[in-house]
Amino acid sequence: MSTPSCDIGLIGLAVMGQNLALNVADHGFRIAVYNRTTATTEKFVADHPDTPGGLQGETTLAGFVQALKRPRKIVILVKAGAATDAVIDGLVPLLEPGDIVIDGGNAQWMDTIRREKTLADQGLRFVGSGVSGGEEGARFGPSLMPGGDPAAYREIEPIWTAIAAKVDPNSGKPLEGAAPGRPVTGGVPCTTYIGPNGAGHYVKMVHNGIEYGDMQMICEAYALMRNLLGMTPPEIAAVFSTWNSGLLDSFLIEITADILQQRDPLTGQPFVDVVLDTAGQKGTGKWTSVNALDMGVPAPTVAEAVFARFLSAVKDERTAAAKILSGPKANFSGDRQHFIDAIHDALYCSKICAYAQGFQLMRHAQTEYGWQLPFGDIAKIWRGGCIIRARFLQKITEAYLRDPNLTNLLLDPYFRGEVDRCQGHWREVVGAAATNGVPAPTFYSALAYYDGYRSERLPASLLQAQRDYFGAHTYERTDQPRGLFFHIDWPVPGRPQIQS
């Protein structure tokens, strides 16, 4: 048997797995790779003979495990769910106490909690690590959100720190210039230990939920410019390019400008016009919304973004409904540049609310699962590598530096001031969208969330009275301490009316 020579191993050579393996090797770590299809492994290694650390392809799972230095560190990047469990089941008999299994997929956090407990009972260590940034991030620097055994994280920390995206320590902007065999050096790495068991995958899930909201908001800004202002895709691209140099500077704004300038190579038409308007989703946005419902935490903007995708998917129904259902014809007669500026501010305020909801959800989750989540560090590691990377995240980092126990981002002095400054435009845009029949569900819901959150008294008093009336569900009183519940006998057929 040869002496183990690999610092880490990776199972699953789809696009993400290949790119992450190359990233690891570029940083000087020797990595063993294994794929169920042997030909995939062999071709991948043959195609990349000169990586600084080196790729070692293995054709059997046993050979793969034997190639790794102790304690063994094994990254799994296969489809979440049953496929991940199958890989773990195959590995366990080959591993020894203290070895570390790292799930880098989009796992459901409760699965991660279960897997960590199961492996711990067998003397093995488990890390559930969120990996964000898509193919490009995996190759040149993702945002990494590891959770699980803290001692296990310390074992992989040198690798995770090396391969993560880097940001400028002063501006918080991502450092760029990485190329094959030439990684970015210096800067602040976009990774930190999140917490035990499923914390890393939970935070990655919330990241994806916010991402759903961010993308939908940008689409609504585009729709308002296209359908209400009558602007062409190249004109809208110019607006997004301008926005990307200011407060809305972000990866998603940047790629939106690029997309809207693209022409279809087959027809010459704007590319966005030949793409079918039915959006898919892989489940993490839905998980975020379901979890918010389960914990009783308001995250309506994320949920509306998920529902918007569901609504887009019923294309045939919408096509039929368009011939039957009526609404106002979009008609704009004001100052176009003023309204573009208003859309900018509506997008900005809605974005603040979406992030406020995501961080509020994580704050409740840490109580539910016994975590202590580092909110400022979470915002910090989202500044580079991940899909929602944005200048905006530097301000969230600063907010949690000012107050680590901040209840809601809207209460931070900076964000409170920004919403105060911009909300007139926000309300103008929401009103115009409703009046002209342009659907803008995340703009609507974000504003309703803001108005609800700032309301000392809501009509839930009437709702509780209704629940007590039809179901004797009881109610609390404004003139009694919280936690005391009351009920009165409501009139029913044959029963005398309540006397005052």
Tell me whether residue 2 is in a domain.
no
Q: How far is CA 270 from the centre of its chain?
A: 29
267: CB partners within 8 A, 6+ apart: 274
Q: What pLDDT, on the 0 to 100 scale, is given for residue 267? A: 96
Cα gap 188→376, rounded to integer Å: 14
320 and 345 in a common domain: yes
Residue 3 belongs to a domain: no
Whole domain around residue 498: which residue ranges? 459-500
Which of helix, strand or coil describes residue 58?
coil
Give long-range contacts, CB 8 A cutoff, 24+ apart: 334-342: 336/229, 339/228, 339/229, 339/428, 339/429, 339/432, 340/225, 340/229, 340/239, 341/425, 342/425, 342/426, 342/428, 342/429
Is 222 part of a structural domain of the chain? yes
40/130 same-domain check: yes
Q: Give dist(CA 5, CA 188) in Å, integer.
A: 29
The CATH number given to whatever domain includes residue 498 is 1.20.5.320
Taking Cα atoms as reference points, which of 29, 35, 36, 33 lies closest to residue 7? 29
Count of CB atoms situated within 10 Å of the CB of 97 = 9
Does residue 53 lie within any of the structural domains?
A: yes
Question: Among 165, 181, 196, which residue terminates a domain?
Answer: 196
Q: Please, are residues 357 and 301 in contact by the beta-carbon 8 Å criterion?
A: yes
**CB–CB of 391/173 below 8 Å?**
yes
DSSP category for residue 66: H
**CA neighbor of 133 nearest in space, from 163, 165, 109:** 165
**Statement to judge: residues 188 and 221 lie in one domain:** no
- CATH at 113: 3.40.50.720
Residues 424 and 446 in one domain: yes
- Asked if residue 298 belongs to a domain, the reply is yes
Say whether both 333 and 477 belong to one domain: no
Among the candidates 435, 453, 471, a domain finishes at 453
Q: Are residues 141 and 216 in the same domain?
A: no
58: nearest Cα among 22, 3, 14, 6: 6
In terms of domains, do 115 and 186 share one? Answer: yes
For helices 284-295 and 199-223, angle between their N-to-C axes, nearest 10 degrees = 110
Identify whether 71 is preceded by a cis peptide bond (ω within 30 of 0).
yes
Note down pLDDT in tens along the chain; length 500 residues: 568 999 999 999 999 999 999 999 999 999 999 999 999 999 999 999 989 889 999 999 999 999 999 999 999 999 999 999 999 999 999 999 999 999 999 999 999 999 999 999 999 999 999 999 999 999 999 999 999 999 999 999 999 999 999 998 888 888 887 778 788 888 999 999 999 999 999 999 999 999 999 999 999 999 999 999 999 999 999 999 999 999 999 999 999 999 999 999 999 999 999 999 998 777 788 999 999 999 999 999 999 999 999 999 999 999 999 999 999 999 999 999 999 999 999 999 999 999 999 999 999 999 999 999 999 999 999 999 999 989 899 999 999 999 999 999 999 999 999 999 999 999 999 999 999 999 999 999 999 999 999 999 999 999 999 999 999 999 999 999 999 999 998 887 655 555 54
Which residues are tagged catalytic?
Answer: 204, 211
Do both 402 and 464 map to the same domain?
Answer: no
pLDDT at 500: 45
Position 353 in a domain: yes
- pLDDT for res 305: 96
Write down the pLDDT at residue 495.
58
**336 and 414 assigned to the same domain:** yes
Domain co-membership, 192 together with 303: no
pTM, two decimals, is: 0.93
Query: For 170, phi and psi rounded to 5 degrees?
Result: -95, -50
By three-state DSSP, how is residue 318 classified?
Answer: helix
The whole-angstrom separation of Cα 185 and Cα 29 is 15
Between CA 259 and CA 281 the distance in angstroms is 19
> 3-class DSSP state for residue 202?
helix
- What's the domain count of the chain? 3
Residue 1 lies in a domain: no
Residues 350 and 277 in one domain: yes
The answer to whether the beta carbons of residues 199 and 371 sit under 8 Å apart is yes
Q: Are residues 405 and 478 in the same domain?
A: no
- Domain of residue 431, CATH code: 1.10.1040.10
